[in-house]
Amino acid sequence: MTASLYDFGRDQFLGGSIDWATDDIRVILVDTDDYTVNLATDQHLDDVPGAARVATAALANESTDGAGTADADDLTFSSVSGDQFEAIVIYQHTGTESTSILIGYDDTLVGLPFTPSGSDITITWDAAGIFTL
C-alpha cells in the first residue's frame, strides 16, 4: 500500500464529498511523459492531460476496514494498447472532468513501467489495501 493522496482529495473525503463505498471510483493508467503529478495543486480529472491517459477502468466492491483503509477488487483493464505507462491515478468519476476529484497517485506498483501490447492488464492491490487516509 503506497498510493500518495492528492491534498484536495483528502479534504473532500473529510468534508463528505467522496464516499468510497458508493461513488463511482475509477483508475487511469498514466504515461508520466505527459503528466507530472502535483499532489498539492492538482484537484480534478482535467488536471491530467488526455494524452497521459492510456486506459481507464472502474473499481468494483469498494470497501473500508473501519480504520481508514480503502480497498476494492483487483482491477482488469481489457485489451490495452498505447503508450507505456508508469503510474496510476485514482479518481471519483462524476461524468464531468472539471468536477471529478483526484484521489490517489501511485508509481510504485509492481510491474511499472509497463508497455501495453493489446492484452488485458490486471492490477492486484496490496493485501493491506489501496491507501489509508
Cα separation, 73 vs 95, in Å, equals 22
> What ranges do the domains of the chain cover?
4-125
Model confidence pLDDT, tens digit, residues 6-65? 999 999 999 999 999 999 999 999 999 999 999 999 999 999 999 999 999 999 999 998
Examine the pLDDT at 5 and tell me if it is beyond 90: yes
Q: What is the pLDDT of residue 3?
A: 77
Which residues are bridge partners to 55 per DSSP? 29
Enumerate residues 6+ apart whose C-beta is below 8 A from 85: 29, 30, 31, 32, 54, 112, 113, 114, 116
Task: Provide the pLDDT confidence category of residue 2 given band limits of 50, 70 and 90.
Answer: low
Q: What is the pLDDT of residue 1?
A: 46
Cell (9 digits) for 54: 492510456
Q: What is the pLDDT of residue 31?
A: 97
Model confidence pLDDT, tens digit, residues 65-124? 889 999 999 999 999 999 999 999 999 999 999 999 999 999 999 889 999 999 999 999
Helix, strand, or coil (residue 106): strand
